A and B are shown apart, each in its own frame.
Chain A
């Protein structure tokens, strides 16, 4: 058991997901179960092994540094729950 209630709360805060006390209890057990299970990777000797960063060897592509999109503010905000004059509206952040 490596994940306690305080850890669940800390991760949930980082992930911006509200959890109730009851949910936190269940998550302690579930997350510990999965994290204990993945620890079997410790058996594998990975000294000197590079982490995999891409699946096929290829040069990172670059696009031309030009404007190729834009002037679509209507489309950008079309799905937002709350907007005003092409701005997303959120609760007040600065006092």
Chain B
């Protein structure tokens, strides 16, 4: 039998429908892949094998009785930011300890109601704060991709999978699940997707319910999928999205059949290319990739238009006011009283202080302090209010652009995957990872990363598409055109799945 973990989500769906294999076989294949490969990749922080096999068994019964649901029997990974009923959820922070939610996130519940199987919880940067998955309390995730050295051979140094959804991107890229849930506050779906040769879409703010997802920055957070193909992203998003009365910012708008829209092509589509994204110091490699993307869309019948988004350069500094401010407020709930870790002190205040000092990692503590500073008496107007005004201007830039274009094309990241530890000493260099993605969150728009090529070192690069509010269908259509032209990018050698020689049976 072929390796079932190499299938795309849509291929697996079709195989289950045709009864070529069972949901149990499909789930077991993925659990074996996790068993063999997770020690090297560290993508999962919790594997829920029994839970997955029980779901798969129910799926097989549904398929046998002709009652298959849209995602019936498809094994997924679930980012550890999504609360799972009765199953440990930590946001990859020590402060949540052994937290077992009494409820399921709405997005998760939507997927399971559609028949999907959960393989386990995926690693991420602590509270989704990071761009390399190096701040997780469970340790760093390793990118399945490796660089080619000058001699043409694969180098031994380990690369980051991007972040914060680094477990999601590594698991999908390394075939440890068919697709994964992820979240994106400043680029946390699109940047890891770009660094691992996978597809990631952050929908419009309000498209997916935030209920039951551990909050980072509430006005920016959105859930979305990381997948192997554009079609898979269309399938996942349709079943993750939808109105939810439990999230007041969730939007009551119909969710289209995104998969059906894929076939429409891009003939006549107006594609904008923002001149401000040609930042000084953009590597020739990224520049070339962008030109290639423009040429592909043009060849597929789209028209290209230069546009101006004059406030682009202010998005990142404004983000580093808004996001920490909202985080400092959201993370106030971790007090050592209601759940998670408690480190006792001589009184209540010292208990809070000890608990939060021990429970939060360095990056999270730093961001809480920045947020506390910018919201503190006397500074609110100069920082938070100013940043929210700049946000209005960023959004206006896009509102103007939509008169001329239907979708915007940019690179996803300024560079390909970097080595573990390469940027941890320089916070601003790490923050610059999100320079092309963060404007999208600030404006609340949908954005998507599609694999488009390989770097000179043989590692993946992505192109980003930005769309009008609630026009994810057009993004996916344009993404399909890029995927059709670029092809898919998969890791040739599954080095992480190789067991040491002593495991060989005699």
Of B316-324, B407-415, B488-496, which binds chain A?
B316-324
Taken together as a complex, chains A and B put the C-alpha atoms of A33 and B346 apart, in Å, by 34
Question: Per-residue CB proximity of B379-404 to A under 8 Å, as 1/0?
Answer: 00001011111111101000000000
Q: Which of A34, A37, A93 contacts B348 (CB 8 A)?
A: A93
Give A13-52 interface residues, CB cut-off 8 Å to B.
14-19, 27, 30-31, 33-35, 37-44, 46, 49-52
- Cβ distance A29 to chain B, nearest Cβ, rounded Å: 11
Once the chains bind, are A51 and B388 in contact (CB under 8 Å)?
yes
Asked whether B360 is an interface residue with its Cβ less than 8 Å from the other chain, the reply is: yes
The residue of chain A having its C-beta at the shortest distance from the C-beta of B373 within the complex is A11
Once the chains bind, are B427 and A30 in contact (CB under 8 Å)?
yes
Residues A16 and B353 in contact in the complex (CB < 8 Å), given A31-B366, A41-B314: yes
- Cβ distance A69 to chain B, nearest Cβ, rounded Å: 10
Once the chains bind, are A63 and B245 in contact (CB under 8 Å)?
yes
- Cβ distance A37 to chain B, nearest Cβ, rounded Å: 6
Taken together as a complex, chains A and B put the C-alpha atoms of A62 and B2 apart, in Å, by 53
The residue of chain B having its C-beta at the shortest distance from the C-beta of A8 within the complex is B369
Once the chains bind, are A49 and B366 in contact (CB under 8 Å)?
no
Taken together as a complex, chains A and B put the C-alpha atoms of A54 and B251 apart, in Å, by 12
Asked whether A5 is an interface residue with its Cβ less than 8 Å from the other chain, the reply is: no
- Which residues on B sit within 8 Å (CB–CB) of A63? 245
- Cβ distance A35 to chain B, nearest Cβ, rounded Å: 7
Residues A91 and B348 in contact in the complex (CB < 8 Å), given A46-B389, A52-B395: yes
Once the chains bind, are A51 and B392 in contact (CB under 8 Å)?
yes
Once the chains bind, are A51 and B385 in contact (CB under 8 Å)?
yes
Taken together as a complex, chains A and B put the C-alpha atoms of A63 and B245 apart, in Å, by 8
Once the chains bind, are A51 and B320 in contact (CB under 8 Å)?
no
- Which residues on A sit within 8 Å (CB–CB) of B388? 51-53
**What number of A residues sit within 8 Å (CB to CB) of B?**
51
- Which residues on A sit within 8 Å (CB–CB) of B249? 54-55
Question: Per-residue CB proximity of B84-123 to A under 8 Å, as 1/0?
Answer: 0000000000000001101000000000000000000000
Of B30-38, B230-238, B331-339, which binds chain A?
B331-339
Taken together as a complex, chains A and B put the C-alpha atoms of A17 and B365 apart, in Å, by 8
Once the chains bind, are B352 and A16 in contact (CB under 8 Å)?
yes
Q: In the complex, given contacts A30-B366, A50-B392, what are 20 additional A-B residue pairs having Cβ atoms less than 8 angstroms apart?
A: A15-B356, A17-B368, A31-B369, A37-B317, A39-B317, A46-B389, A51-B389, A55-B204, A55-B206, A56-B470, A58-B251, A63-B245, A75-B102, A76-B102, A79-B100, A80-B339, A81-B337, A88-B338, A90-B337, A91-B348
Q: Which residues of B contact A (CB under 8 A)?
A: 99-100, 102, 204-206, 219, 245, 248-249, 251, 311, 314, 317-318, 320-321, 328, 332, 335-342, 344-354, 356-357, 360, 365-366, 368-370, 372-374, 376, 383, 385-393, 395, 427-428, 443-444, 469-470
The 28 listed contacts between A and B (C-beta, < 8 Å) are A14-B372, A15-B372, A16-B356, A17-B365, A18-B354, A18-B356, A19-B357, A33-B428, A34-B320, A35-B370, A37-B317, A38-B317, A38-B318, A41-B387, A44-B390, A50-B389, A51-B385, A51-B388, A51-B391, A51-B392, A52-B388, A55-B219, A56-B469, A61-B248, A79-B99, A81-B339, A88-B338, A93-B348
